[in-house]
Structure 1
Amino acid sequence: MTKQINLKAHLKQHFGFETFKGNQEEIIKNVLAGNDTFVLMPTGGGKSLCYQLPSMILDGTAIIISPLIALMKNQVDAMRNFGEDDGIAHFLNSSLTKSAITQVKEDVLSGKTKLLYVAPESLTKEENILFLKQVKISFYAVDEAHCISEWGHDFRPEYRRIRPIINEIGNAPLIALTATATPKVQHDIQKTLGMLNACVFKSSFNRPNLYYEVKPKVHASKEIIRILKENIGKSAIIYCLSRKKVEELAEMLIVNGIKALPYHAGMDASTRSGNQDKFLHEEVDVIVATIAFGMGIDKPDVRIVMHYDIPKSLEGYYQETGRAGRDGGEGRCITFYSYKDIQKLEKFMQGKPLAEQEIGKQLLFETVAYAETSLCRRKLLLHYFGETYKEDNCDTCDNCLHPKEQFDGQDSIVKMIKVIQVIKEKFKAEHVVDILTGRVTSSVKSYNHEDLELFASGKEEDGKYWNAVIRHALIAGLITKEIENYGLLRISQKGLDYLVKSYPIMLTKNHDYDEMEEETRTAGGTAAVDPQLFSMLKDLRKLISKKLNLPPFVIFQDPSLEAMSTYYPITLDELQNMPGVGAGKAKRFGKDFVDLIKRHVDENELDRPIDLVVKSVANKSKLKISIIQSIDRQVPLDDIAESKGIEMNDLLKELESIVYSGTRVNIDYHIDQVMDEDHRDDIFLYFKEDAETDDVASALDELGEEEYSEEEIRMVRIKFISEVGN
């Protein structure tokens, strides 16, 4: 029955395929022989067939334990398409009505059903256990088996109960399948399922068609819009960690003309599955989602997977990026990274049990190492999953395409290995780095490690540098990370030999994304400003200001003119997307400006990058609305600040932003209480008649710092812009 010709005939008969992929055939033979089987196969490798085909051949019903209702429905629909009778596959979960459950049970007991999908929660219900005891079970399959392990990226406690329940229902061969498992997680799965003697089939984790890139998280929304606009019509998934960010980003994409929808666990089930179906049926191009999306979703042509937020573990990252290019075609995996996000994730861990925090920290450490490394990202990723990538350059990651300068790191590596040796291989990377850089932490103190001869021996370099050294040494096999013990560093035999006779190992420094963020921020500003147009807009502003007898800055500030000279808005709608231009200002002053810009664009035959102006979602800032309402009720400004839990300085900033965008507010009631009349009039007159700029420092110079405070000048400036400009 397990002869090759028979298997291929069954494959053709049930699924219409001529040949097996990878090691599918060996796996299926093993299942048919009644052996426990562990399958480690990356997304897109064809895991499902490894239990679907044996279920069609063997007597009885295969029980498939699967974590997601959406995934079950998908798989059942797919199986029914292959068979003549809908009864061939069913699922049993909380979404079914009583009559539907009765139908399922009748079909299973009559022998019609070859596959029964069950959620782990349903499996534990007493009535289901009693029912399954009456069923002839061909085998059990545990899909997404990484959910068993606390070290996995999607731990589900109820998965831990699978083995005892199988023992209660009745033993049958077991197949466990996962797309991501480090050696640690693999061992955990086998131990918990009681299948340590299972035959293990491990496919390569290398997906050569995927391109990996990490970008600094600066103006990330704008960058996402730019990438999507350059790839119109291509399917993309964008992952965010919070539901709120999913909603915000999806809304921003829609406003910018991109066909996008949100997906997260907080939405009602019908909207969520409706959005998923629209993505699968190509009614929308982009899904913005939390990690709840995509497990088992078989869409072969996702071309881009972006992570707006860095994932909590490399396993999660690998599985999510693995949803790109499953058809072997193009797949771009772009991640936005800022160390601030890591700090945020660490904060979320506080309050959890200590063991859980330790695991979480270790997983995050690996993610940071991946994000900040200058090594080949593919090499690093595969090393994490216990696989060696032998090529020096993969040509499909940002680090290989844009390599950084290298230097010989043998002295640093020797120093680092000696520290591990001196502290008797009992500490994690973090502690080793603290010793090298000379940081006296509580952990260093409690072991008196500040007294070591090697303490601060590497202080000329920072922690990021030493983390990079450790990462290189791990990949070179000079040290290993103890997986059972929260990541303790050990020295391999190769590492001990290296201490005796070292040789050059070329290192590259890690990326410093915080520095890159700074560079990007300062490099922003006026880089792409059209100087000729900027000068013409300033002249126009001067002309209008004379005609209306207003200071030029009341009409538009310089940053607004710079944005106009960069993006060439030619309609009032487009003009409203420029910084500091609200609807009121666009209406009042905008026509002459957009007419001038349009003439300039036509005469010089310019390409407008207006598509890349990120239209912001209508400002629904509750804070701003609430401030305006409080001012309407004439609440003193210091009381407003206190009730909102902000400083007076921040309240004034909010008010400045409100009036500069064209909205009127009347704060006379407050100014009259806190300032004398002469002071108020002097400042008002200064802005009306003398000021060439609205700069507070210039006003203080002119009016005298001894007599006037910065706060007074800002309040009167708000009054002035509001009354005169709006």
Structure 2
Amino acid sequence: MPTSQACQLESPAVSEQILQDVFGYQTFRLGQQAVIEAASDGKDCLVIMPTGGGKSLCYQIPALVRDGLTLVVSPLISLMKDQVDQLLANGVAAACINSTMSRDEMLATFQAMEQGELKLVYVSPERVMSRDFIDRLAAVPLSLLAVDEAHCISQWGHDFRPEYAALGVLKQHFADLPVMALTATADETTRQDIISRLALTDHHEHLGSFDRPNIRYTLQEKYKPMAQLNRYLSAMHGQCGIVYCNSRKRVEQITESLCKGGIRAAAYHAGLEHDERAAVQEGFQRDDIHIVVATVAFGMGINKPNVRFVVHYDIPRNIESYYQETGRAGRDGLPAEAVMFYDPSDLAWLRRCLDEKEEGAQKQVEGHKLNAMGAFAEAQTCRRQVLLNYFGEHRDEPCGNCDICLDPPKRFEALEVAQKALSCVYRVNQSFGVNHVVEVLRGMQNQRVREHGHDKLTTYGIGREHSHEFWVSILRQLVHRGFLTQSIVRSSTLQLTEKARGILRGELSLELAVPRLDTTARNAKSDKLANRQYDKKLFAKLRKLRKAIADEEDLPPYVVFNDASLMEMAESLPTSASEMLAVNGVGHRKLEKYGNVFMEVIKDHLTAGEELLY
């Protein structure tokens, strides 16, 4: 549907019609429609959706419903360009403003904005806050401000950026402009900070599930990591993936080793020249490079749907980063894997790096988050439960799709040890962290315990028969199961939840995992992808056609169609326009542009199959 038509429609079904006609999807994902309707009605919105959950549609569809221009604040040039390419491919008038543009290109974009020729413009937070840009916006009919990666606004977020924190000032300049804040990673403290800093009023809030059920989370003991990585990549031959490392030197060493072994890999880190980084990112987007070995500098701008795995060669610094980085796998909803190689000495190295930083609130935040990451790596509880619990989403049932579920640790009746642990947290007035509680439980004689009089408590020494590591594991499991919380705003102190009452009163039974004091190597390989019912030979032909078209049009292949759409074609075998429109990801514009050539390949494939039968 042309954008001018979209703006003239006023029926309640307009957003659904745009979803189908412009973007080619048949139904909304959970939560999308309510957000879109609230934004279309001019309400502020806070949208928390997992990576790949469809956040961009939450502001792109209102942009087509409402009169005027939607301004999207985005942190990376590559991310802006990718979004604009996909919008243009769907027939939507969109542009971006960034430092790579010439002065003439910028002036032409400003003119198009002022004349109402654009529906969406992407811009960086630094530029949108400049005096000159704000003055220019005064001449533009604005309909919506969308702030992507909104966790960067909060001092409690894992990626705080001062330039983001200033965005709330825009409300002073454009008081009636509805604002939508979007992110995949924000705990309760971060969410409240976003609302306050952006001055969201009477807002609609969507807190989507943080669960990505198609991703299998696996941790392996790190003993011969390069050999482990080679074995894993051999098993994933032909699939696209990312390998994350904590240092530039390691990135380069691993890339060199992989290339010598015949694997198409490329390095990416902030120390490389801009053109070199851009070439790697473009090669990966276009399937010319299968494996990117990178520091955390790589990824936020990656909107590639067919990443099948993410490997963490080193443990990340916080759960938010881990969640975002693993979330780059399986954005198309197909099975994907997240594998981490874990060595406790890597965690110790990160702690030493943190110790060297200046004291202050930011160091406290980073310390809390690093401890939570360590707890995840050493968890004896379903990894998905640990992740979801961290973001305030509690699940009672294990997921069945992580290494803990697939290779479960031994379990034991844990009511008594849980009562000891919870009672000790209570006796120290819920004012201390894990290590101090463990020291009291084990009856340790040290200055801090004596200073607070905790050697006189009834819980002092009641757990001395167990090791320090045992009690740390028990306390972490109680956090993961929702009986305890750790407050980031109170120096990671342990606090009882309402759920703990039943344990302390002996009203509940409780099983916990026997602590694995040595992490056992586990490697679970997903075979769901191989079991999907579609014609794999036809899928290969469709991918080849897609790559040829993408190269000719100078686009990433997934902008033509993503893997999920091609699999659906190889499954449903559409040979007419109506059948092709029924495929998710095929809208009217893409049908008109690409439909016939893809249907020709399908028809030829079916004809060849019939000839073989005779």
In the alignment, does 2:58 pair up with 1:53? no
Q: Give the Cα–Cα distance (whole angstroms) in 1 for the partners of residues 260 and 156 of structure 2.
A: 40
After TM superposition, the structure 1 stretch with the greater mean CA deviation from structure 2, 65-74 or 126-135, is: 126-135
In the alignment, does 2:345 pair up with 1:337? no
Unaligned runs of 5+ in 1: 520-726
In the alignment, does 2:467 pair up with 1:462? yes
Residue aligning to 1:473: 478
Q: Give the Cα–Cα distance (whole angstroms) in 2 for the partners of residues 337 and 204 of structure 1.
A: 27
Letter in 2 for 1:99: D
Instruction: Name the SS for the 1:413 alignment partner.
Output: helix
CA contact (8 A) 1:372 1:510 kept: no
Unaligned runs of 5+ in 2: 1-8, 523-614
The alpha-carbon deviation at position 196 of structure 1 amounts to: 5.8
- Listed as ranges, the matches of 1:3-18 within 5 Å are 3-18=11-26
Instruction: Name the SS for the 2:405 alignment partner.
Output: helix
CA contact (8 A) 2:70 2:120 kept: yes
Letter in 2 for 1:382: L
CA contact (8 A) 1:243 1:264 kept: yes
1:351 to 341, 344, 357: 357
Residue aligning to 2:134: 129
What is the CA deviation profile of residues 49-96 of structure 1, one whole-angstrom value per residue up to 9, with x for unaligned ones? Answer: 111111122111111111111101111121122227xxx222222222
In the alignment, does 2:372 pair up with 1:366? yes
Letter in 2 for 1:360: E
Q: Give the Cα–Cα distance (whole angstroms) in 1 for the partners of residues 184 and 503 of structure 2.
A: 36
What is the CA deviation profile of residues 341-390 of structure 1, one whole-angstrom value per residue up to 9, with x for unaligned ones? Answer: 11211222222332222111111111111111111111111111111223
CA contact (8 A) 2:440 2:460 kept: yes
Instruction: Name the SS for the 1:382 alignment partner.
Output: helix
Q: Give the Cα–Cα distance (whole angstroms) in 2 for the partners of residues 98 and 353 of structure 1.
A: 44
The alpha-carbon deviation at position 396 of structure 1 amounts to: 1.0
CA contact (8 A) 2:502 2:508 kept: no
What is the CA deviation profile of residues 519-561 of structure 1, one whole-angstrom value per residue up to 9, with x for unaligned ones? Answer: 9xxxxxxxxxxxxxxxxxxxxxxxxxxxxxxxxxxxxxxxxxx
CA contact (8 A) 1:237 1:288 kept: yes
The alpha-carbon deviation at position 230 of structure 1 amounts to: 1.6
Instruction: Name the SS for the 1:42 alignment partner.
Output: coil
- Whose Rg is larger? 1
Instruction: Name the SS for the 1:108 alignment partner.
Output: helix
The alpha-carbon deviation at position 152 of structure 1 amounts to: 2.0
1:79 to 87, 94, 110: 87
CA contact (8 A) 1:133 1:170 kept: no
Residue aligning to 2:590: none
Q: Give the Cα–Cα distance (whole angstroms) in 1 for the partners of residues 226 and 236 of structure 2.
A: 15
In the alignment, does 2:78 pair up with 1:70? yes
What is the CA deviation profile of residues 216-244 of structure 1, one whole-angstrom value per residue up to 9, with x for unaligned ones? Answer: 11111110111111221011111112122
Instruction: Name the SS for the 1:48 alignment partner.
Output: helix
CA contact (8 A) 2:14 2:65 kept: no
The alpha-carbon deviation at position 165 of structure 1 amounts to: 3.4
1:35 to 43, 49, 55: 43
Letter in 2 for 1:363: K
Q: Give the Cα–Cα distance (whole angstroms) in 2 for the partners of residues 276 and 296 of structure 1.
A: 9
Instruction: Name the SS for the 2:271 alignment partner.
Output: coil
Q: Give the Cα–Cα distance (whole angstroms) in 1 for the partners of residues 79 and 125 of structure 2.
A: 13
CA contact (8 A) 1:419 1:454 kept: yes
Residue aligning to 1:382: 388
Letter in 2 for 1:127: D
What is the CA deviation profile of residues 561-615 of structure 1, one whole-angstrom value per residue up to 9, with x for unaligned ones? Answer: xxxxxxxxxxxxxxxxxxxxxxxxxxxxxxxxxxxxxxxxxxxxxxxxxxxxxxx
Q: Give the Cα–Cα distance (whole angstroms) in 2 for the partners of residues 493 and 5 of structure 1.
A: 43
The alpha-carbon deviation at position 2 of structure 1 amounts to: 5.7
The alpha-carbon deviation at position 145 of structure 1 amounts to: 0.7
After TM superposition, the structure 1 stretch with the greater mean CA deviation from structure 2, 1-10 or 40-49, is: 1-10
Q: Give the Cα–Cα distance (whole angstroms) in 1 for the partners of residues 318 and 423 of structure 2.
A: 29
Q: TM-score by structure 2 length?
A: 0.80
Instruction: Name the SS for the 1:380 alignment partner.
Output: helix
The alpha-carbon deviation at position 127 of structure 1 amounts to: 1.2
Letter in 2 for 1:140: L
Letter in 1 for 2:321: G
Letter in 2 for 1:470: L
Q: Give the Cα–Cα distance (whole angstroms) in 1 for the partners of residues 16 and 485 of structure 2.
A: 43
Q: Which has the higher helix share?
A: 1
Residue aligning to 2:242: 237
In the alignment, does 2:186 pair up with 1:178? no
2:431 to 426, 432, 435: 426
Instruction: Name the SS for the 1:74 alignment partner.
Output: helix
The alpha-carbon deviation at position 189 of structure 1 amounts to: 1.4
Q: Give the Cα–Cα distance (whole angstroms) in 2 for the partners of residues 156 and 183 of structure 1.
A: 19
Residue aligning to 1:512: 517
Q: Give the Cα–Cα distance (whole angstroms) in 1 for the partners of residues 210 and 191 of structure 2.
A: 14
Pair 434,171 (structure 1): closer, same or farther in 2 beyond 3 Å:
farther
Q: Give the Cα–Cα distance (whole angstroms) in 2 for the partners of residues 102 and 445 of structure 1.
A: 69
Letter in 1 for 2:30: G
In the alignment, does 2:400 pair up with 1:395? yes
Q: Give the Cα–Cα distance (whole angstroms) in 2 for the partners of residues 503 and 60 of structure 1.
A: 58
What is the CA deviation profile of residues 669-688 of structure 1, one whole-angstrom value per residue up to 9, with x for unaligned ones? Answer: xxxxxxxxxxxxxxxxxxxx
CA contact (8 A) 1:2 1:32 kept: no
Pair 306,441 (structure 1): closer, same or farther in 2 beyond 3 Å:
farther
CA contact (8 A) 1:410 1:502 kept: no
Q: Give the Cα–Cα distance (whole angstroms) in 2 for the partners of residues 277 and 442 of structure 1.
A: 57
The alpha-carbon deviation at position 512 of structure 1 amounts to: 3.0
Q: Give the Cα–Cα distance (whole angstroms) in 2 for the partners of residues 233 and 2 of structure 1.
A: 47
CA contact (8 A) 2:415 2:503 kept: no
CA contact (8 A) 2:368 2:488 kept: no
- Listed as ranges, the matches of 1:436-451 within 5 Å are 436-440=441-445, 443-451=448-456
Pair 83,516 (structure 1): closer, same or farther in 2 beyond 3 Å:
closer
1:147 to 152, 163, 166: 152
Instruction: Name the SS for the 2:400 alignment partner.
Output: coil
CA contact (8 A) 1:373 1:509 kept: no
The alpha-carbon deviation at position 474 of structure 1 amounts to: 2.7
- Listed as ranges, the matches of 1:533-682 within 5 Å are none
Q: Give the Cα–Cα distance (whole angstroms) in 2 for the partners of residues 335 and 490 of structure 1.
A: 29
Residue aligning to 1:698: none
Residue aligning to 1:98: 103
Q: Give the Cα–Cα distance (whole angstroms) in 1 for the partners of residues 352 and 428 of structure 2.
A: 29
Letter in 2 for 1:358: Q
The alpha-carbon deviation at position 20 of structure 1 amounts to: 2.0
The alpha-carbon deviation at position 516 of structure 1 amounts to: 5.5
The alpha-carbon deviation at position 310 of structure 1 amounts to: 0.7
Residue aligning to 1:498: 503
Q: Give the Cα–Cα distance (whole angstroms) in 2 for the partners of residues 445 and 354 of structure 1.
A: 27
Pair 91,353 (structure 1): closer, same or farther in 2 beyond 3 Å:
farther
Relative contact order (C-alpha < 8 Å, sep 6+): which is higher?
A: 2
Aligned length: 513
Instruction: Name the SS for the 1:484 alignment partner.
Output: helix
Q: Deviating runs (4+, > 6 A) in structure 1?
A: none
What is the CA deviation profile of residues 21-74 of structure 1, one whole-angstrom value per residue up to 9, with x for unaligned ones? Answer: 222111110101111111111111111111111112211111111111110111
2:272 to 253, 258, 267: 267
Residue aligning to 2:567: none
Identity %: 36
What is the CA deviation profile of residues 157-185 of structure 1, one whole-angstrom value per residue up to 9, with x for unaligned ones? Answer: 21110001342355400101111122222
2:165 to 160, 165, 169: 160
Q: TM-score by structure 1 length?
A: 0.68
Letter in 1 for 2:71: I
Residue aligning to 1:246: 251
Q: Give the Cα–Cα distance (whole angstroms) in 2 for the partners of residues 357 and 462 of structure 1.
A: 29
CA contact (8 A) 1:153 1:312 kept: no
Pair 110,426 (structure 1): closer, same or farther in 2 beyond 3 Å:
same
